[in-house]
Amino acid sequence: PVPATAPVDPDRKSDRRKQLANVLTKRLETIAGGGRPRRDAQPPSSPLPVHDPTTDRDSVVRSLAKTLELVSHTTGARDHAKHLIDEARGAEARGNLTAAASAMRLAHRWRPRDESLLRDAERLQAAAVAEKVAVYEKRARYAEENKLWADAALSWSKVADGLPDAPEPARKAARMLLEAGGDIHAAVRYARRASRQEPRRASTQRLLAQVYVAAGKPLSAKTALEASLVIEPGNAQANDLLREIG
């Protein structure tokens, strides 16, 4: 697992951070010690409101202290992000794409303005999903060929979830769930998706109708069957199912 944060090595602090911190610290010390203005400073040409020097000094001290804290936090964020990016690259090299995507997303949280990190995370996540989908699809086809409906339904559902724009996995998931007597609400969801993605495929419209019948939605089933008959007029299966629905 990739740690959300990693200890920051003081030796790795950037020279810029040290220099800026030193400058700010010296300014804090000067102001806190009551530093005086330059002797050659000229008085203003017009009267200005009189300010309490102690109040002004305290205000500047607080402002500089806040800036110093921000510099420290920002540099720490860079260190955290760099560590996570290194972790992501290493995980990708080892073939652990899921871990690589997770690490890159965490790095983006530390550097939210770096859109390249988000793009890398999305690329790695897509590659991880594609890798898993290939395994699940192989299992799904084996289970379907051997009429292991429950196993086929589970595997095709995972493929459909991994490939939301592909109609075949959604269609297969709906049919396998119907065959297995599984989650009918999930079957309706997959069948609807497939129907939207391939509206001119009559068999998909008939499948949607069958799922609607199993879900107790005869009116929706009738609409799907009528749509299928527009594509394939006179289809016996569609007409038989229409008669059964009444």
Q: Are 140 and 172 in contact, with CB atoms under 8 Å apart?
A: yes
Query: pLDDT band for position 15 (50/70/90)?
Result: low
Average pLDDT of span 104-127: 91
For the cut 90, the answer to whether the pLDDT of residue 229 exceeds it is yes
Average pLDDT along the chain? 80
Average pLDDT of span 40-44: 42
Average pLDDT of span 9-29: 55
Tell me which DSSP letter residue 6 carries: -
Q: What is the pLDDT of residue 81?
A: 86
> Can you list the positions of beta strands (E) in 62-136?
none
For the cut 70, the answer to whether the pLDDT of residue 196 exceeds it is yes
More confident residue, 214 or 30: 214
Residue among 166, 171, 167 nearest 188 (CA): 171
Instruction: Please identify which residue in the block is written with the tokens 């804090």.
Output: 28
For the cut 50, the answer to whether the pLDDT of residue 143 exceeds it is yes
For the cut 50, the answer to whether the pLDDT of residue 199 exceeds it is yes
More confident residue, 239 or 7: 239
Buried b (16+ CB within 10 A) or exposed e, 127-160: ebbeebbeebbebbeebbeeebbebbbbbbbbbb
Q: What is the dihedral of CA 207, 209, 215, 219, to 10 degrees?
A: 170
Q: What is the pLDDT of residue 30?
A: 52
Query: pLDDT band for position 115 (50/70/90)?
Result: very high
Average pLDDT of span 97-102: 90
Which residues, 6+ apart, have CB-to-CB distance to 12 below 8 Å?
Answer: 79
Which residues, 6+ apart, have CB-to-CB distance to 110 below 8 Å?
Answer: 77, 78, 80, 81, 84
